[in-house]
């Protein structure tokens, strides 16, 4: 986008704000263009960030990833853990002015349980929600599930957000196009311009909780009138706009503009999310060649994490090698089983690829030059793959098209795909119940890539049910070893998730499992 285009956008925003009598506007450069509004249908990080602003859930994670009451006034749990009663807060309103009722909650959670890894596990344990009246609902389970509150407050995967009943009745595989929630920010659909700008207004009827702001929990107090996400794909243009004060916040500046940002007066570069992110390569296990484990092993043996992350980050102080499927430094951190894949072995990779039965068929890689991670890393992956004999074709789309294709099970080259190099926030990956990439359940209802490994899934469920710390550690290591054998995902290292903002104008940025834009004031 040209500076002239940016100036036109900002001028238009200023005129609108002026008409509304001197609104305070927070201008943000998002990491990509927002194309999907439904945080239940997809696991895209930008859609998740969008979702936590406008929707709420029964619980929410604090900065220790502990679930705290959010939309509920009170709840009780039976001693055997098989039944719960929840009472909604009396002052919950949707953005259209309608009252949130248990009908909305139940329809939303039933839809979520068909999409999310945590929700599907809850459903498998026999979860049934029932309305007692407009504010009181019950949950009954056939089998104990230790993560009820944790799952209902999840800030990752497909979010357990509460929509209006009529949107929540949408097929869970079809993204909802009406973004009407009950959160502190109200999506301004009339001014949404895909490819250019997304607008949010402060929801005047939102009633914050009285507890202190803490991660995604507590009081969500919006301290500005309006927020605009201005799409600027060129990071140098975006950084200069930040330096001139034309925008206030960059969600995810690329490494090549760090020196420029750090020279700027009144600009800070920091990490407002709680855990580092991880890079990965996701193979599609529905189709050849990656339905054969030897092809996945061959791919894993080409990965040089330092080379991969140096192409993306460029600054070795901001990344580290990490051979964990769960975030390094998190409570489930282990690298057991990764030993054969710590260093590239191209000769062995060629041998394994040949043994997989691969005959040079075209392999379709999803990529998007709109995101810095994809733009920087897919050439590295292509080079590594071609070196052992893969015939790779890159499908380089805009980010919205990538996401639309990623969730399709169509044959590669005919609407589908074979592999996708990308990354995820550490909060998505740190826990074996929330990390949808390691959901190995068969049936094709798990995350895009669709692994199926009954032995591995049995270990995952045993790990989730374990209560003894020693047993849990043993099961974690057994499961992690199995993950390195099956390879539903290929770890490519860990890196800091960094944002930049104007400290002379913006105060109150909080640390949370994902980016949150409440508690922020602007001079």
Tens digits of pLDDT across the chain (523 residues): 444 455 445 545 444 444 445 799 999 999 889 989 999 998 888 999 999 999 999 999 999 999 999 999 999 999 999 999 999 999 999 999 999 999 999 999 999 999 998 999 899 999 999 999 999 999 999 998 989 999 999 998 899 999 999 999 999 989 999 999 999 999 999 999 999 999 999 999 999 999 999 999 999 999 999 999 999 988 899 999 999 999 999 999 988 898 899 899 999 999 999 999 999 999 999 999 999 999 999 999 999 999 988 888 877 788 999 999 999 988 899 999 999 999 999 999 999 999 999 999 999 999 998 887 888 888 999 999 999 999 999 999 988 888 889 989 999 989 999 999 999 889 889 999 889 899 999 988 888 999 999 999 999 999 988 888 899 899 999 999 999 999 999 999 999 889 999 999 999 999 999 999 999 999 8
315 bridge partner residues: none
Residue 178 belongs to a domain: no
413, 439, 435: which is closest to 424 by C-alpha? 435
Q: What are phi and psi of 334, to 5 degrees?
A: -155, 150
Supply the CATH number for residue 381's domain: 3.10.105.10
Strand pairing report for 277-283 and 419-424: antiparallel
Running DSSP on this structure, what letter comes out for residue 509? P
**Whole-number Å distance between alpha carbons of 427 and 435:** 9
Indicate if 347 and 224 belong to the same structural domain: no
Indicate if 401 and 507 belong to the same structural domain: no
Indicate if 134 and 112 belong to the same structural domain: yes
Indicate if 249 and 283 belong to the same structural domain: no
Count of domains observed in the chain:
3
Burial class (CB in 10 A: 0-12, 13-18, 19+), 138: middle
Rg (CA), the chain: 23
Running DSSP on this structure, what letter comes out for residue 213? P
Indicate if 291 and 433 belong to the same structural domain: yes
Structure tokens at 509: 């940025």
C-alpha angle 486-299-255 in degrees, rounded to nearest 5: 110
Q: Which residue range(s) make up the domain with 254?
A: 1-55+183-273+498-523
139, 140, 191: which is closest to 23 by C-alpha? 191
Residue 176 belongs to a domain: no
Distance of CA 490 to the CA centre of its chain: 18
Indicate if 478 and 452 belong to the same structural domain: yes
**Whole-number Å distance between alpha carbons of 469 and 275:** 23
Cis-peptide, bond into residue 318, ω within 30° of zero: no
Indicate if 488 and 507 belong to the same structural domain: no
Residue 151 belongs to a domain: yes
**Whole-number Å distance between alpha carbons of 429 and 422:** 13
**Whole-number Å distance between alpha carbons of 40 and 51:** 9
Total residue length of the chain: 523
Distance of CA 147 to the CA centre of its chain: 19
pTM score: 0.85
Indicate if 226 and 290 belong to the same structural domain: no
Q: What are phi and psi of 10, to 5 degrees?
A: -70, -35
Q: What are phi and psi of 143, to 5 degrees?
A: -130, 145
Indicate if 375 and 231 belong to the same structural domain: no
Supply the CATH number for residue 189's domain: 3.40.190.10
Contacts of residue 412, defined as CB under 8 A and 6 or more positions apart, other chains included, come to 284, 287, 362, 363, 364, 418
Residue 248 belongs to a domain: yes
* Residue indicated by tokens 């890539």: 449
Residue 462 belongs to a domain: yes
**What is the distance between the terminal CA atoms of the chain, rounded to a whole angstrom?**
27
**Whole-number Å distance between alpha carbons of 111 and 398:** 28
Per-residue model confidence (pLDDT) at position 434: 86
Burial class (CB in 10 A: 0-12, 13-18, 19+), 38: buried
Indicate if 369 and 454 belong to the same structural domain: yes
Positive/negative CA dihedral, 291, 292, 298, 301: positive
Supply the CATH number for residue 86's domain: 3.90.76.10
Cis-peptide, bond into residue 289, ω within 30° of zero: yes
Positive/negative CA dihedral, 191, 195, 197, 203: positive
Indicate if 353 and 450 belong to the same structural domain: yes
Structure tokens at 446: 């798990």
**Whole-number Å distance between alpha carbons of 141 and 514:** 30
- Residue that terminates a domain, selected from 167, 199, 224: 167
**Whole-number Å distance between alpha carbons of 234 and 253:** 10
Per-residue model confidence (pLDDT) at position 198: 97
Indicate if 49 and 111 belong to the same structural domain: no
């Amino acid at each position: 986008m040209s500076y002239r285009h940016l100036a036109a956008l900002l001028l238009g925003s200023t005129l609108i704000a002026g008409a509304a009598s001197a609104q305070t506007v927070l201008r943000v450069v998002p990491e990509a263009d927002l194309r999907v509004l439904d945080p239940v249908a997809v696991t895209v990080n930008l859609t998740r960030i969008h979702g936590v602003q406008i929707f709420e859930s029964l619980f929410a994670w604090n900065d220790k990833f502990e679930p705290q009451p959010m939309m509920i006034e009170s709840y009780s749990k039976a001693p055997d853990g098989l039944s719960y009663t929840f009472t909604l807060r009396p002052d919950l309103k949707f953005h259209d002015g309608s009252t949130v009722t248990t009908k909305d909650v139940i329809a939303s959670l039933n839809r979520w349980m068909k999409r999310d890894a945590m929700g599907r596990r809850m459903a498998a344990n026999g979860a049934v929600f029932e309305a007692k009246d407009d504010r009181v609902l019950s949950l009954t389970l056939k089998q104990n599930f230790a993560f009820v509150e944790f799952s209902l407050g999840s800030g990752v995967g497909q979010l357990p957000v509460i929509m209006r009943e009529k949107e929540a009745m949408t097929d869970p595989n079809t993204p909802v196009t009406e973004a009407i929630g009950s959160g502190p920010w109200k999506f301004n659909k009339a001014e949404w311009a895909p490819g250019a700008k997304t607008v949010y207004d402060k929801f005047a009827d939102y009633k914050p909780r009285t507890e202190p702001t803490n991660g995604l929990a507590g009081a969500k107090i919006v301290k500005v009138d309006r927020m605009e996400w201005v799409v600027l794909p060129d990071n140098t243009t975006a950084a200069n706009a930040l330096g001139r004060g034309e925008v206030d916040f960059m969600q995810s500046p690329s490494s090549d503009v760090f020196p420029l940002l750090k020279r700027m007066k009144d600009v800070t570069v920091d990490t407002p999310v709680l855990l580092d992110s991880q890079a990965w390569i996701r193979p599609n296990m529905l189709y050849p060649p990656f339905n054969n484990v030897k092809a996945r092993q061959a791919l894993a043996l080409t990965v040089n994490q330092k080379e991969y992350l140096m192409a993306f980050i460029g600054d070795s102080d901001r990344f580290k090698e990490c051979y964990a499927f769960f975030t390094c430094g998190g409570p489930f951190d282990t690298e057991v089983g990764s030993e054969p894949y710590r260093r590239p072995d191209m000769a062995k990779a060629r041998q394994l690829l040949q043994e997989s039965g691969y005959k040079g068929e075209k392999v379709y890689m999803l990529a998007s030059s709109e995101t810095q991670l994809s733009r920087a890393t897919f050439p590295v992956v292509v080079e590594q793959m071609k070196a052992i004999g893969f015939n790779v074709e890159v499908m380089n789309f805009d980010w919205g098209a990538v996401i639309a294709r990623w969730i399709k099970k169509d044959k590669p080259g005919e609407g589908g795909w074979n592999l996708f190099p990308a990354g995820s926030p550490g909060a998505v990956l740190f826990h074996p119940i929330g990390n949808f990439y390691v959901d190995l359940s068969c049936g094709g209802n798990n995350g895009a890539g669709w692994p199926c490994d009954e032995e591995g899934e049995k270990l995952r469920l045993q790990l989730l049910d374990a209560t003894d710390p020693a047993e849990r550690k043993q099961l974690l290591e057994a499961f992690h070893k199995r993950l390195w054998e099956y390879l539903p995902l290929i770890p490519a290292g860990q890196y800091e998730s960094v944002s930049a903002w104007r400290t002379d104008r913006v105060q109150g940025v909080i640390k949370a499992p994902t980016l949150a834009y409440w508690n922020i004031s602007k001079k």
